[in-house]
Amino acid sequence: MMQEHPFAQYVRILGKGRHGSRALSQQEAYEAMRLILTDEAQPIQIGAFLMLMRVKEETPEEVAGFVQAVRSTFTVPANVQVDVDWSSYAGKRRQLPWFILAALLLAENGIKVFMHGTEGHTPGRVYTRETLQALGIPVARSLADAAVQLAAANFAYLPLATLSPRLQEIIELRPLLGLRSPVHTVARMLNPFQAPYLVQGIFHPGYRDIHQRAALALGQPYAAVLKGEGGEIERNPDQPCLVKTVREGVLAEEEWPAIFKGPRHLKDETMDVRRLATLWRGEIEDEYAVATITGTAAIILKMMGRADSMDSAEALARTMWETRTVERLGAAA
């Protein structure tokens, strides 16, 4: 009689039927993901596991266990200061990725931002890597390279394909499976440098709670989760923005009001990423873009305690924008 494969138990836990199945514990999730990352699970098992998890939807404890397993594979340089971990996995299709300028604005003001993400898994979207390349900002080649860039410029971007090639492979299964998998949630939570401030952007509102509670389960000191424009960490100034937070073990939420009260701004039909540099340099005006940049930065500033209210956070972000070094992206066009 053939011996049962060690990974089979995790498929069985999820797929035993309406009355027999259950969620994984955090430790079980850790062990399951460890087997996947070390190629000890068979492809057919991984496909079954991911789709059973997708139908059930991942719990915060499962996400936390998966994240811990992935983190255990990292070789992180010692003594690297990172303030904000910023994930970028959705891509943009209706508006340009103005959130990148929000991150660079914070970086210019001494806040060290580590960004990680992926690109190309959904056709027709603009992703972070190509935008940074258009701005003349180098993409990190490793965590060690990211550490050097953070020390020099307070900002670094590392693709998931470099950070965790195995997770990138699983994300690329989406066209084959037809559905996103829990890995999309896990990748956003990786925070390899253990930055004290974690910010998350989601598309489906139900995932706000999952990210918030997973951050709590991981012992994340501070976190902010918002339904961002297109699923990125980007405040839509045309709509109210509900932000779910973790602050030293306490869960809370706050709703930021819409910045504009009139009709919503139209979709950007050109999606020309060169406009980010020209806006930064003051060569064009765009009220939507500026409100998006400063509104997004304000959420992070308040999470970090740089401001004690929404109004003061927005005022601080606007001041940062008005006093930015316009020549900084001068070589990017």
Q: How confident is the model at residue 332 (pLDDT cuts 50, 70, 90)?
A: very low
Report the C-alpha gap between 290 and 321 in whole angstroms: 8
**pLDDT at position 120 over 80:** no
231 or 1, greater pLDDT: 231
In the three-class reduction of DSSP (H, G, I as helix; E, B as strand; rest coil), residue 155 is classed as strand
pLDDT tens figures, 80-118: 999 999 999 999 999 999 999 999 999 999 999 999 999
Q: How many distinct structural domains can be found in the chain?
A: 2
Do 238 and 324 belong together in one domain?
yes
Does residue 192 lie within any of the structural domains? yes
pLDDT tens figures, 206-229: 899 999 999 999 999 999 999 999
Give the pair of three-digit tokens for residue 161: 């394909």
Do 317 and 241 belong together in one domain?
yes
**pLDDT at position 121 over 80:** no
Do 99 and 44 belong together in one domain?
no
Do 159 and 288 belong together in one domain?
yes
pLDDT tens figures, 239-289: 999 999 999 999 999 999 999 998 899 999 999 999 999 999 999 999 999
Give the pair of three-digit tokens for residue 62: 């499962």
Give the pair of three-digit tokens for residue 25: 């514990």
Does residue 258 lie within any of the structural domains? yes
Q: Strands, DSSP E only, in the chain?
A: 84-88, 113-117, 155-159, 197-202, 222-227, 241-247, 250-256
Does residue 75 lie within any of the structural domains? no
**Residue numbers of the domain that contains 185:** 84-329
- The answer for residues whose C-beta is within 8 angstroms of residue 174's C-beta and 6 or more apart is 121, 180, 181
Q: How confident is the model at residue 174 (pLDDT cuts 50, 70, 90)?
A: confident
Averaged pLDDT, 186-190: 97
Do 41 and 90 belong together in one domain?
no
Report the C-alpha gap between 136 and 251 in whole angstroms: 39
State the CB neighbour count (10 A cutoff) for residue 71. Answer: 16
Does residue 68 lie within any of the structural domains? no
Q: How confident is the model at residue 50 (pLDDT cuts 50, 70, 90)?
A: very high
pLDDT tens figures, 306-329: 999 999 999 999 999 999 998 767
pLDDT tens figures, 153-162: 999 999 999 9
Do 42 and 155 belong together in one domain?
no
Read off the CATH number of the domain in which 280 is found: 3.40.1030.10
Specify the residue for token string 């027709």.
124
Do 42 and 150 belong together in one domain?
no
| Contact status, residue 255 vs residue 243, Cβ threshold 8 Å | yes
**pLDDT at position 330 over 60:** no
Q: Strands, DSSP E only, in 175-231?
A: 197-202, 222-227
Q: What is the pLDDT of residue 181?
A: 86
